[in-house]
Structure 1
């Protein structure tokens, strides 16, 4: 499953994009390069055969701004507040039921 996902991703990957190598094939410390199918150490940063860099896929995400108009934000907050009312009622009923059970046990 993992190998198929990496192969599919490498088929649509852009030239500069880093793709992790396929899982081990012939040894515990060897991987197959997704571009040239050469055997590469799992500690390698790039393929020695074709030069393809191996990234781990961990990239920091930074959200700068949410592009939402003011009116849409107000409508969203009103809908959120209305949706929170049933959730609060359900949590209150569950809390009351737990208190009744605990109270009846320790009476």
Structure 2
């Protein structure tokens, strides 16, 4: 996993009304965490495994979750930085969606 954090859309229902953001834990991975080891299916973005009535867009947030990279003298700053990055990306995404909706209305 690289040092930068990213928000990635992995599923979109038709006309979603809610966003769900999956955040993996320490030493986790944005895709491996949500992939079954038995079948290799990435269930977080698998339309066959999700409810047909789910009116959501699902995103996963990837960040460097290595415990050795996070813990140390500035560990709380690093975790806080990841949280700020996630919030900033969500705000930017919301703004982009609002702009796209406004363009459709025009």
User: If the length of structure 2 is used for normalisation, what is the TM-score?
Assistant: 0.29
**Structure of higher CA gyration radius:** 1
Greater relative contact order, per chain length (Cα 8 Å cut-off, separation 6+) = 2
1 or 2, which has the higher strand percentage? 2
Q: From the two aligned structures, give the one with the greater helix fraction.
A: 1
Q: TM-score, normalised by structure 1?
A: 0.29
